Amino acid sequence: MAALAARGFRALAPDLRGYGDSSVLADPAAYSIFHVVGDIVALLDHLRLPKVFVVGHDWGAQVAWHLCQFRPDRVRAVVGIGVPFFPRSPRSMSETFAELGDGFYITQFQEPGRAERAFARCCNCTKEVLLH
């Protein structure tokens, strides 16, 4: 972001709902793509940015793709990294993830402590490789 700013660009990296320093909402329905894209549009309005070049990675790529779909008037260009566009499903994300099974990383890491155990094993293996 500093490199972009040094070249005269304005770069924003907002915390999406429930991420970083944003508020956490109890109702899962508050995290629909409509709400999240609405947050981005509200931010653009607040900053008086009529059109932007959007870059999104992972979940942010889905937000970027849907911003283009819902509000093409606000987007100059888009780059999606790591996740292609896929249309909104009538099923909930939890139903979709459940179909992918317990091995799907998002499903796995919903279980308290599971991510920490997996990363700890990874760190131990990495230490062994580096120390030998």
- Output the CA angle 31-68-2, nearest 5 degrees: 85
Domains of the chain, residue spans = 2-88, 102-132
Measured between alpha carbons, how far apart are the two ends of the chain, in Å?
37
The predicted structure's pLDDT at residue 14: 94
**Domain 2-88 belongs in CATH node 3.40.50.1820:** yes
Q: Report the C-alpha gap between 26 and 50 in whole angstroms.
A: 31
- Tell me the pTM: 0.74
Q: Report the C-alpha gap between 47 and 38 in whole angstroms.
A: 14
What are the pLDDT digits (tens) for 12-63?
A: 999 999 888 998 899 988 988 999 999 999 999 999 999 999 999 988 999 9
